[in-house]
Amino acid sequence: MSQNDPLYALTPIDGRYQSKLNDLSAIFCEYNLIKLRLFLEIKYLIALSQLGIAPKLNSQQQNKLLKIYEQFNSDQAKEIKTVENKIGHDVKAIEYFLKDKISASNIPGVSYIHFALTSEDINNLAYSLMLKQGLQKILPVLSLLIKNITDFASNGIDLPLLARTHGQAAVPSTFGKEMGLFAYRLAKEYSQLSKLPIEGKLNGAVGNFNAHQLSYPGINWLQFSQGFIKSLGLKPTLYSTQILPSDSYIKIFQSLQLVNQILLGFVQDIWRYISDDYLLQKHDKNQIGSSTMPQKINPIDFENCEGNLGMANALFHFFIDKLPISRLQRDLSDSTVKRNIGTAFAYTLLAFQSCIKGLGKINYNFEKVNLDLNLHWEILAEGLQTVLRTQDDIKAYEKLRQFSQGKTINAKSLHKFKQSLDINKECKQKLLKLTPYNYLGLTTKLTKKMISDIYKLLN
């Protein structure tokens, strides 16, 4: 068996889960990093030509240059890696490769390849483009997940639910509202995440355009740098050391970390609802739940989601701590860290996929949900004592506490208590009609508005 077989992979990202992550692998792999660096060197040379510094390149010559990028393949990437292993510098190896290609094509301007740049000018733009491409894969799946949770909420919009605060029976809510709230929180963060800019810099060895200005003092290098970066779909920053400040990256990582935390709360609640039989899992005749207990159906998709969310956020947390800091004008400790951005994205994507899969396997258990509500009429104590206050009963809270605290009250005993109250007929009728199934306040109205707001945020 080949060592390249997924069974030999060091991590599950490249082994067990490889087939689910092909799109992300194509973005965050070293091959794409090399190809993007090559693309940027070519685009930069063309831009210098258009600026009037490098020799003028006609459209045919520019097309030849772009074809070097477009026709780039894995064999050429291996050539670059061979040079890198020899000289110990990854970006310089690409520069040498490109010089050979241009010289062989008789295209002028070889000496202007990588002109006045530091490696970080190319690297930061390459990573920014990778991050942008990665988000373009993550965001549609997140949007689908939010829509699936919203659909699940819509199906339970009128299903009363025994709420629990501090783990204890509390005033009722609905499944629709509780599920919809997670979707709304995710949608808010999705809306912000999709608009976050990704920065890039192109300003030389320590960020001051030293070599640029020395060589061509008459050029507006600030304008050139900004225009070049904008042409890549990135937000230019003029102020940096040798490295791009990672602030725009950090905001993306923080947003994804929050998305993952919200989703973690969701899947843990779903797990609990399944455990309490409030949610039923669909039976798959081909799936085995336990190696020894034949009756079991385990909520494995939600458990896998939880585990992958934890892995992703552990990495995002480290990125957030590490990347804003660099000693003096730069140190290289960020380089190996950035190579792992794709890993955090991969665990995040796996979590989204698992949650979507899990949602397709559950349904509401209306019978069990209603049964539990009927066992806890004490949850109406809040409503009763509040209405009694409107009748100037200054001991309303104390009466209900004495009657209900620490007790499980049934419909019969609560009805008897209501009948004993010395209040006007209209108020008593209101309380007699009150049940765990209709003490829902504005829940349905709120949920419908929330669902409408979710779709606005996604569009």
Do 184 and 454 contact (CB within 8 A), yes or no? yes
Q: Please indicate whether residue 89 is annotated as part of the active site.
A: no
Burial of 266 (0-12, 13-18, 19+ CB in 10 A): buried
Whole-number Å distance between alpha carbons of 96 and 81: 11
Catalytic residue among 103, 231, 275, 290: 290
In 220-252, which positions are buried (b, 16+ CB within 10 angstroms) versus exposed (e)? ebeebbbebbeebebebbeebbbbbbbebbbbb
Per annotation, catalytic residue among 19, 166, 283, 452: 166
Whether 290 is a known active-site residue: answer yes
DSSP 380-419: GHHHHHHHHHTTT-TTHHHHHHHHHTT----HHHHHHHHH
Calpha distance 44→232 (Å, rounded): 11
- 357: Cβ contacts below 8 Å, ≥ 6 apart: 301
Q: Which residues on adjacent β-strands are paired with residue 280?
A: 363
Residue 38: name the closest of 7, 17, 67 by CA: 67
CB of 169 closer than 8 Å to CB of 379: yes
CA–CA distance, 152 with 154 (Å, rounded to integer): 5
Residue 345: what residue type? F
- C-alpha dihedral (44, 50, 52, 55), degrees to nearest 10: 70
For residue 421, count other CB atoms closer than 10 A to its CB.
18
Ramachandran quadrant class, 394 (left: phi over 0; alpha: psi -120 to 50; beta: rest): alpha
Q: How far apart are CA 371 and CA 365, in angstroms?
A: 10
Q: Dihedral, CA atoms, 419, 424, 426, 432, nearest 10 degrees?
A: -10
Paired strand residues for 170:
163
d(CA 240, CA 234): 16
| Letter string b/e over residues 96-129, b meaning 16 or more CB atoms within 10 A of that residue's CB | bbbeebbeeeebebeebbbbbbbbbbbbbbbbbb
3-state DSSP helix/strand/coil % of the chain, to nearest 5: 65, 5, 30
Question: Could you list the active site residues?
Answer: 166, 290
